[in-house]
Amino acid sequence: MPAYWIARSRITDPVEYKKYTDRVPGIFKKYGGKVLARGGKYRIMEGPETFHRFVVVEFSSFEAATKCFESPEYVEAAAFRRAGAGEVENVIVEGGEATVI
């Protein structure tokens, strides 16, 4: 079952953040990720306007997406933004209708 890595971000230091974004596409590809949306036009329909960049990446499974996020390559790349270049919220969600309320 596919899974989706969804990120919302606010960039505070574009030069340092670019060091992160330059590395990420290759890492996603290595782990089987397919970028569905990265940056681009958006409209916040409801909620706070904290973030201004949105990314959606599809993986073959929840496990594949998690493996990518926890990979040494991604951790190394993320260090650039985690050092103060931006604020990011990441979530990985399994596709389908598995939600139990």
What is the bridge-based pairing of β-strands 86-94 and 53-59? unpaired
Residue 101: pLDDT band with limits 50, 70, 90: low
Mean pLDDT for the chain overall: 93
pLDDT of 77 reads 95
Domain boundaries, the chain: 3-94
Angle at 68 between CA 26 and CA 6, to 5 degrees: 90
CB 95 within 8 A of CB 4: yes
For the structural domain made of 3-94, what CATH number should be given? 3.30.70.100
What are the angstrom distances between the C-alpha of 79 and each of 42, 44, 75, 84, 97? 26, 28, 6, 9, 34
Residue 97: pLDDT band with limits 50, 70, 90: confident
pTM of the model: 0.89
Alpha-carbon gap, residue 53 to 42, rounded angstroms? 8
